[in-house]
């Protein structure tokens, strides 16, 4: 007969943390949120870490190159979505790696034969006033000069004037060779009182631009997630269908870590994918797998060589897998069981396999609960979909700004590689919805608030690191009445009342 679990499956909203002793050392600026991203052996350091425990989901409506750059700047990681042609995903990965913290691949470039009219039009379109002039007008052409707003006066210079007639020529430029570090580039900028510094290769072709205005921005992001070459770290989604083509392309493009995008990971398909990757690349390519919700699923993927394992089925805000298929498990219960299995695996084998909580997070405090329950980091979709940096449109619904957000299991995503129910490569039914989420503004501002809440709660529990937090955390189940008690109640909130002016 079927196996029955005695325990009810619980969600994050059914738990609260019990405060612990907090010493004078528990200050928010002392809390270290770094966490391992991939498996490692006892006594060794992981090959990849996160400076904050946040990753963005492998979704069309969440993770493109813009999101990847913005999140890596804050210390996290994006997994660029795989439900697109291999070449397009590889191009997004390459763009993130080309960005290089503080080094910008110019997207506003001029050719010498362009006119002032075209310069002004490009400036209005891009918002950039500093534009390199290259022989072929591309971002990596041979540098001939540079144009800034100080090189022309639209009121006096004829709009038909060629760029060559008013640009600052190459021989008068201060440039830097490609081996220049960011610190050296900033020193050159300050020493020569420049606003921008072109970085060129040995053939005089443009590689990057370093801008004075980015110096302060770079200093304001001490947790930037960078590789050994000071480039942003980025992940790439893959699937169990075209992995023999997609994995090599992602590796060539520079992806630091891969992740199998699947609604259910306890399968021979994922085992095959992991085996092929390990046979081809050994440990030089790191791949996460999932999703699972119990000990058996974790052990299967850990033994198959997964570098991290995603936990959660059916808990996402746009996921209707439980409703459609009747499978899944409460996210809190899933994390608790899988974290216990991870710790057992570590004791038995000496190999630590990080787990990622994927789905079921609605409020910021749910992230703290996920960490306390044993998650090493979270993968978030709805949370990041609300920000300027997500790739979807901002629209107005009933007078409120919203952002579009759809699931990979929805018809809109056309993600046959994740949800195909047959050889025809089409969806027999949907496991995700097409929706809107409230627009929330810039990623940086919102992530800062979220991290402040996590740090504050950790201090309340007397913890300065995530591992310490997981050891010290005390959790309690709460009743439905307690949930109501936890919010504002028995009062009339001012922002919900239209007060009449006094007479």
Residues forming the active site: 319, 418
**Token representation of residue 4:** 């029955």
Q: Which of 316, 327, 325, 385 has its CA nearest to residue 357?
A: 316
10 Å CB burial of residue 216 (0-12, 13-18, 19+) is exposed
CA 112 to chain CA mean position, Å? 38
Write the secondary structure of 267-310 as one string of H (helix), E (strand) and C (coil). Answer: CHHHHHHHHHHHHHHHHHCCEEEEEECCHHHHHHHHHHCCCEEE
Cα–Cα distance measured from residue 177 to residue 27, given in angstroms and rounded to the nearest whole number:
43
Cα–Cα distance measured from residue 448 to residue 232, given in angstroms and rounded to the nearest whole number:
19
194 and 173 Cβ atoms separated by less than 8 Å? no
Cα–Cα distance measured from residue 275 to residue 306, given in angstroms and rounded to the nearest whole number:
10
DSSP alpha helix (H) spans, 405-465? 416-419, 443-460
Cα–Cα distance measured from residue 223 to residue 210, given in angstroms and rounded to the nearest whole number:
20
Cα–Cα distance measured from residue 237 to residue 78, given in angstroms and rounded to the nearest whole number:
9
């Amino acid at each position: 007969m079927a196996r029955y679990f005695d325990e009810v499956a619980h969600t994050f909203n059914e738990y609260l943390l019990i405060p612990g002793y907090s010493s004078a050392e528990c200050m928010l600026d002392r809390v270290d949120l770094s966490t391992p991203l991939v498996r490692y052996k006892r006594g060794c350091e992981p090959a990849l870490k996160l400076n904050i425990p946040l990753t963005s989901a492998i979704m069309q409506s969440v993770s493109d190159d813009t999101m990847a750059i913005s999140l890596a700047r804050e210390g996290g990681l994006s997994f660029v979505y795989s439900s697109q042609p291999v070449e397009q995903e590889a191009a997004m990965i390459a763009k993130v790696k080309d960005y290089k913290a503080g080094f910008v691949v110019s997207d506003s470039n001029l050719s010498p034969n362009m006119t002032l009219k075209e310069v002004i039009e490009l400036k209005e379109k891009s918002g950039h006033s500093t534009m390199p002039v290259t022989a072929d007008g591309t971002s990596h052409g041979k540098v001939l000069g540079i144009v800034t707003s100080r090189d022309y006066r639209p009121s006096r210079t004829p709009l038909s004037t060629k760029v060559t007639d008013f640009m600052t020529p190459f021989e008068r430029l201060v440039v830097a060779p490609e081996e220049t570090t960011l610190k050296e580039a900033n020193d050159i900028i300050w020493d020569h009182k420049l606003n921008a510094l072109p970085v060129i290769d040995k053939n005089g072709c443009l590689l990057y631009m370093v801008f004075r205005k980015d110096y302060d921005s770079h200093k304001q992001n001490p947790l930037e997630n960078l590789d050994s070459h000071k480039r942003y770290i980025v992940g790439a989604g893959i699937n169990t269908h075209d992995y023999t083509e997609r994995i090599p392309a992602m590796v060539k493009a520079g992806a630091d870590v891969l992740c199998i995008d699947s609604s259910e990971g306890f399968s021979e398909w994922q085992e095959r994918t992991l085996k092929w990757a390990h046979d081809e690349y050994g440990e030089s390519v790191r791949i996460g797998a999932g999703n699972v919700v119990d000990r058996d699923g974790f052990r299967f993927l850990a033994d198959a060589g997964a570098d991290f394992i995603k936990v959660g089925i059916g808990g996402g805000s746009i996921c209707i897998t439980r409703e459609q298929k009747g499978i899944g498990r409460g996210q809190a219960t899933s994390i608790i069981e899988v974290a216990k299995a991870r710790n057992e695996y570590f004791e038995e084998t000496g190999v630590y396999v990080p787990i990622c909580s994927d789905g079921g997070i609605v409020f910021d405090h749910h992230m703290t609960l996920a960490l306390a329950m044993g998650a090493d980091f979270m993968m978030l979709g709805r949370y990041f979909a609300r920000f300027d940096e997500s790739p979807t449109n901002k629209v107005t619904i009933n007078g409120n700004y919203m952002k579009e957000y759809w699931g990979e299991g929805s018809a809109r995503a056309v993600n046959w590689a994740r949800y195909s129910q047959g050889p025809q490569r089409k969806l027999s039914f949907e496991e995700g919805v097409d929706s809107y989420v409230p627009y929330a503004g810039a990623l940086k501002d919102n992530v800062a608030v979220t991290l402040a809440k996590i740090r504050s709660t950790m201090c309340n529990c007397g913890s300065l690191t995530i591992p310490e937090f997981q050891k010290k955390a005390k959790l309690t189940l709460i009743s439905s009445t307690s949930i109501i008690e936890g919010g504002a109640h028995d009062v009339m909130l001012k922002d919900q009342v239209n007060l009449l002016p006094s007479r």
